[in-house]
Amino acid sequence: MRNTWLIIKREYLERVRTRSFMVLTLLLPAIVAGVMVLPAKLATIGKKVQHIVIVTSSPQSGEIIRQGLLSAGDSDDDEAAPETNAPKQARDKQYIIDVNSNPTEAERAALSEKVNSQAIDGYLWLSDDAIASGEVMWVSRNLPGSRERSRLSEKLSRIIQQERLSGGGMTVDQVSIMLKPIRVEAVRMEHGRETRDSSGMKFIEVVVMVMLLYMAVLLYGISVMRSVLEEKNSRVMEVLLSSATPTELMTGKLLGVGAVGLTQIAVWAVIAGVFAVPALAMQPDLDQLKVSPGVLAAFAAFFFLGYLLYSTIYAAIGAIATTEQEGQQLQFFVVTPLVLSVFMLNSVVQTPDAPVVAWLSMVPFFAPVVMYARIVIQTPPMWQIALSLFLLIATIAGNMVLCARIYRVGILMYGKRATLPEILKWLKYAKT
Partner 1 sequence: MELVNVHKSYDDFVAVDKLSFRILPGEIYGLLGPNGAGKTSTLRMMIGISVPDSGQVLILGEPLSRAHTNRFGYLPEERGLYKKMKVLTHLVLLAQLKGLTSGEATKRAHHWCERFELTAWMEKKVEELSKGMQQKVQFIGAILHDPELIVMDEPFSGLDPANALALKDALLELAKNGKTILLSTHRMDQAERLCQSICLINHGRVVLEGDLGQIKNSSGSCSVQIKYDGDSSFLREPRLVQSFNDYGNYVEVRLAPGADTQELLRLACSKARIDRFEVMQPSLEEIFIDAVSKPHA
Residues in contact with partner 1 by CB under 8 A are 2-3, 6, 10, 14, 18, 231, 234-245, 408-409, 412, 422, 429-430, 432
Among candidate residues 426, 396, 400, the one with its CA nearest the CA of residue 411: 426
> Nearer to partner 1 by C-beta: 118 or 242?
242
* Residue 262 to residue 73: CA distance in whole angstroms: 44
Find the helix packing angle between 420-429 and 382-410, rounded to 10°. Answer: 90
Q: How far is the CB of 427 from partner 1 (least distance, A)?
A: 14
Q: Report how far apart, in Å, the C-alpha atoms of 269 and of each of 29, 212, 264, 305, 321 are.
A: 9, 11, 9, 20, 35
Strand, coil or helix: what is 389? helix
> Nearer to partner 1 by C-beta: 18 or 116?
18
> Nearer to partner 1 by C-beta: 140 or 247?
247
Strand, coil or helix: what is 64? helix
List residues bridging with 99 in a β-sheet.
54
> Nearer to partner 1 by C-beta: 117 or 432?
432
Q: How far is the CB of 267 from partner 1 (least distance, A)?
A: 22
CB 352 within 8 A of CB 380: yes
> Nearer to partner 1 by C-beta: 125 or 426?
426
CB-count exposure of residue 404 (10 Å: 0-12, 13-18, 19+): buried
> Nearer to partner 1 by C-beta: 325 or 432?
432
Task: Give one DSSP letter per residue of 141-210, joined into a string.
Answer: SSPPPHHHHHHHHHHHHHHHHHHHHHHTT--HHHHHHHTPPP-PPP-EEETTEEE---HHHHHHHHHHHH
How many CA atoms are closer than 13 Å to the CA of 230, on its beta-carbon side?
A: 8
* Residue 430 to residue 405: CA distance in whole angstroms: 6
Q: How far is the CB of 318 from partner 1 (least distance, A)?
A: 15
> Nearer to partner 1 by C-beta: 206 or 224?
224
